[in-house]
Amino acid sequence: MPPGYTSQQKSAISQFQNFTQADRNTAIRWLKSSGWVADQAVNGYFSGGGGATSNTSGSESKLRSLFDKYRDDPKNSPDIIGVDGSMKYLDAIGVNLEGLDSFAAMEIIQAPSMGEISRDGFVNGWAAVGADSIEKQKAHINFLKKSLPSDKTKFTEIYKFSFQLGKTAQQKAIPLENAAGFWELLFSSPMSPVQWRTPNSPWIDWWGEFLTSKWKKSVNKDMWNETLKFAQMTLDDEQISFWNEESSWPSVIDDFVEFVKEKRGGGEEAEAMEY
């Protein structure tokens, strides 16, 4: 006879299966290894490749067939899903096209740009997490929606990858309008673990105002990555005491600090921020 489980353990088994689409025995094995903590078990399952099937060739074959289903122009672009196909596919796996989960999905499959999915990225990305069907991919996206608000490591991966989504292959920088929209989503979405606001400082609003009124240039990769670093540090130190004129921040960050000082009234209060 199968062993008996408590009501809490049965609930954890059900929760694990709902998120992962795994069978009952797999759920029990992962839950036991995590001390019956469902969130930890699901996280370990996905991040550790627990969903990957041993039949790699079979899984990849299924993924290639699934990819083919969403191609816009099979004859002229057999290895690309275009804008229309991408929208249909993302909708099928439960992705909000205007939400942070769209960036998360694009990061998994290493999309070359927004509205474009390559065959290799699609097959390799989903094979790595063992999600070879729409149901399993939807389950993985649901898992990310729940786990991302507390997972800064995964958020950083998504943030850094999103730079690629804002530019074309020939560009080395993102147009300011694109970057500003991306920052608003990345730093304001309920899914983001980096909500760029503190009790007395609406950082993301100030940053957007600064960019459009003072900066007015495109955004290169260094500025993109350093903005995340700066944002995270301001959340721990609202007074920006970590910054000084000798710091090795990009000049845009230095200019933004001066902008913030002006917003806060300047004078003695602004000077106090440096100490």
Digit-coded pLDDT (tens) for 147-163:
999 999 999 999 999 99
Contact 10, 28 (CB under 8 A): no
pLDDT at 48: 60
pLDDT for the residue numbered 11 = 83
The whole-angstrom separation of Cα 94 and Cα 137 is 9
What does CATH list as the number for 56-139? 1.10.238.10
Whole-prediction pTM value?
0.82
- Cα separation, 271 vs 275, whole angstroms: 8
16 phi, psi to nearest 5 deg: -60, -45
Could you tell me the fold of the domain covering 156-272? Recoverin; domain 1 (1.10.238)
- Burial state string for 124-135 with b = 16 or more CB within 10 A and e = fewer than 16: ebbbebbbbeee
At 33 the pLDDT is 81
How many other CB atoms are there within 10 angstroms of residue 257's CB atom? 20
H/E segment holding residue 81: strand 80-81
Rounded Cα distance, 265 and 223, in Å:
26
Q: What residues contact residue 33 under an 8 Å CB cut-off, 6+ apart? A: 41, 44
How far apart CA 173 and CA 171 sit, in angstroms, is 6
The helix, strand and coil proportions of the chain, stated in percent and rounded to the nearest 5, come to: 60, 5, 35
Residue 106 · residue 90 · CB < 8 Å: no
pLDDT digits (tens, 9 = 90+) for 105-151: 999 999 999 899 999 999 999 998 889 999 999 999 999 999 999 99
* pLDDT value for 273: 44
pLDDT less than 70: residues of the chain: 1-3, 47-57, 266-275
Alpha carbon distance 137, 43 (integer Å): 15
